[in-house]
Amino acid sequence: DSGVTQTPKHLITATGQRVTLRCSPRSGDLSVYWYQQSLDQGLQFLIHYYNGEERAKGNILERFSAQQFPDLHSELNLSSLELGDSALYFCASSPRTSGYNEQFFGPGTRLTVL
């Protein structure tokens, strides 16, 4: 158990819908990272928040957005969902910005878009 929690574990929805994925980092970790893992593209970095502020963006679509709240939990919002958005979404946390710090990964949310 990494100490990072993600809800829900599984999510099945239809194209065009909007969903919210939630992540609670390890106690004391200020950084939260979001990743998308799919069979064809591997592990793709989406976005990084540090202590409530966006620090870096990766391959995140405009239909996707995220935020980190004062209690440090984070939410990833996916809208106008397409079939290709079906993937595993992981969040990870680390004490500060990652670098020499390892990232601790949650168990993931499996999103299926039908």
Partner 1 sequence: AQSVTQLDSQVPVFEEAPVELRCNYSSSVSVYLFWYVQYPNQGLQLLLKYLSGSTLVKGINGFEAEFNKSQTSFHLRKPSVHISDTAEYFCAVSRAEAGGYQKVTFGIGTKLQVIP
The residue among 55 and 79 lying less far from partner 1, judged by its C-beta, is 55
Q: Segment contacting partner 1 (CB under 8 A): 11-19, 63-71, 76-84, 106-114?
A: 106-114
How far apart CA 53 and CA 108 sit, in angstroms, is: 22
**Site map (CB under 8 A) of partner 1, residues 13-52, x = contact:** --------------------x-x------xx-x-------
| Length, in residues, of the chain | 114
Q: Closest separation between CB of residue 106 and partner 1, Å? A: 5
Amino acid letter, 37: Q
Cβ partners under 8 Å of residue 83, min gap 6: 15, 113, 114
Q: Are 101 and 2 in contact (CB under 8 A)?
A: no
Q: Rule CB under 8 A: is residue 98 a binding residue for partner 1? A: yes
How far apart CA 6 and CA 88 sit, in angstroms, is: 11
Q: Closest separation between CB of residue 62 and partner 1, Å? A: 21
Amino acid letter, 66: A
User: Token match 């893992």: residue?
Assistant: 37
Q: Rule CB under 8 A: is residue 103 a binding residue for partner 1? A: yes
Provide the binding-site residues for partner 1, judged by CB under 8 A: 2, 4, 33, 35, 42-43, 45, 55-56, 90, 92, 97-100, 102-108
